[in-house]
Amino acid sequence: MAEITAALVKELRERSGAGMGDCKKALVEADGNMEAAIDWLRKKGLSAAAKKSGRVAAEGLVGTASGERIAAMVEVNAETDFVARNEAFQEFVATVAKIALTVGENVEAIKAAPYPGTGRNVAEELVQLVATVGENMTIRRARVLSVTSGAVATYMHNALKPGLGKIGVLVALQSPSEEDAIVTLGRQIGMHVAATRPESLDVSSVDPASLERERSVLTEQARASGKPDAIIEKMVEGRIKKFYEEVVLLEQIFVLDGESRVSAVVKKAGAELVGFARFHLGEGIEKEVGDFAAEVAAAAGVKPAA
């Protein structure tokens, strides 16, 4: 029997796009013959994943999972919204979120983690799912938040199923109490974050470049008024304060009462808001906009009408 080397497995993986485990099995079945191994993968439907890897995947699901004083959130993308209703895909996203609770938010570490009940890792299981469903899929990102006491609440806007949807939020509240009231407050703040899309937790964590850009724009606007420099400076500082109220979570007005700052609401509960994360499915991904009629005509070899 031919020796199945790591280099041989790597080459087959690169050529087929299939998982390492499947590539090794294919080479064993083909007695080390590369072309025969590729044919074996094709017959099993596993090499099809490679052909789909270049497609834009901006749909899919955001998934959350909770543990004791810890919660995780992942985004797994697919090509079409239809896949989000696929039970196998839903189960995969939910499982990956649970795995992140243990291994952390590094996507490569998640991919390398064992996928329960399969003998494969997460990356290899994803290749299996791609071959089965017929769409490109990617594990795009993950976040994990934890506290030493208190709670990390999760919120899913318009959830498709518990913990699965398109806009997910984690809210970490440090508190001596771990009562349900803290979890409830966390979910309420999660609802607020989903609606207001804050960029920073507090003033000190605002991106310096973003702040400087805003200050520059506001200064030029104020100078157009023709007022003295001393007045301009006060005008700019007032507008910077307003800028903070728009982008800083703790400075925002709590949407549930319309009058209190989030910082005041948290303080009243005897807690400290130490972190948050918000995932909106597909945000930042440049989607391809195609002409469907032109695609059909091209496939049929017909030149579209001018």
Residues 77 and 15 in one domain: no
Classify residue 48: in a domain, yes or no. yes
Instruction: Give the pLDDT of residue 47.
Output: 58
Contact 181, 269 (CB under 8 A): yes
Task: Report which of residues 98 and 288 the model is more confident about.
Answer: 98
Residues 238 and 258 in one domain: no
What confidence tens digit (pLDDT) does each residue in 138-183 have?
999 999 999 999 999 999 999 999 999 999 999 999 999 777 899 9
Assessment of whether the complete model's pTM goes beyond 0.85: no
Give me the phi and psi of 179, to 5 degrees please: -70, 165
Residues 153 and 253 in one domain: yes
As for how many domains the chain has, the answer is 3
Which residue pairs from 291-300 have beta carbons closer than 8 angstroms and sit at least 24 positions apart in sequence? none
Classify residue 227: in a domain, yes or no. yes
Residues 147 and 270 in one domain: yes
Instruction: Give the pLDDT of residue 46.
Output: 64
Residues 126 and 257 in one domain: yes
Token pair belonging to 181: 């009231």
Task: Report which of residues 217 and 184 the model is more confident about.
Answer: 184
Residues 172 and 136 in one domain: yes
Which residues form the domain of 230? 207-246
d(CA 265, CA 15): 56
Residues 196 and 171 in one domain: yes
Residues 265 and 118 in one domain: yes
Token pair belonging to 28: 């064993």
Residue 262: give its domain's CATH number.
3.30.479.20
3-state DSSP assignment of residue 58:
coil
Residue 239: give its domain's CATH number.
1.10.286
What confidence tens digit (pLDDT) does each residue in 12-25 have?
876 776 777 888 88
Mean pLDDT of 257-262: 92
What confidence tens digit (pLDDT) does each residue in 27-69 have?
998 888 888 888 787 666 665 555 554 455 578 999 999 999 9
d(CA 92, CA 215): 45
What confidence tens digit (pLDDT) does each residue in 233-245 have?
888 888 888 888 8
Give the H/E segment covering residue 157: strand 150-157
